[in-house]
Amino acid sequence: MYMARQYSLKTFIRRAPNELLCRYLDQHGVGNDVPWSQLKESGVEPVYRAIEEADERIRRQIDRDFREILGMADEAA
């Protein structure tokens, strides 16, 4: 039996390509001060902080979207 992965914001950020994270967060006005061009693909902390510092409504939307993406990835696996 297949078991879905447990969602963790930091793990999601670590696994998602920075380019896609940057484009997605930019649509929500988040992450403008993240040094994207200097950030390693596993550079979680600046992105995590930017999300955590966002307005609560935006944080909830980001969390829902990321959970949905993870769910779709689990279904495809």
* Per-residue pLDDT tens digits for 4-49: 578 899 999 999 999 999 999 999 999 999 999 999 998 899 999 9
Which of 49-72 are b and which e, b meaning 16 or more Cβ less than 10 Å from the residue's Cβ?
ebbeebeeeebeebeeebeeebee
Task: Return d(Cα 13, Cα 71) in angstroms, integer.
Answer: 15
Reported as a pLDDT band with limits 50, 70 and 90, residue 72 is confident
Cβ atoms of 47 and 34 closer than 8 Å: yes
pTM: 0.86
Residue 21's H or E segment, with its range, is helix 18-27
- What's the pLDDT score for residue 2? 46
| pLDDT reading at 73 higher than 90 | no
- The rounded Cα 26 to chain-centroid distance in angstroms is 12
**Sequence spans of domains, the chain:** 9-76
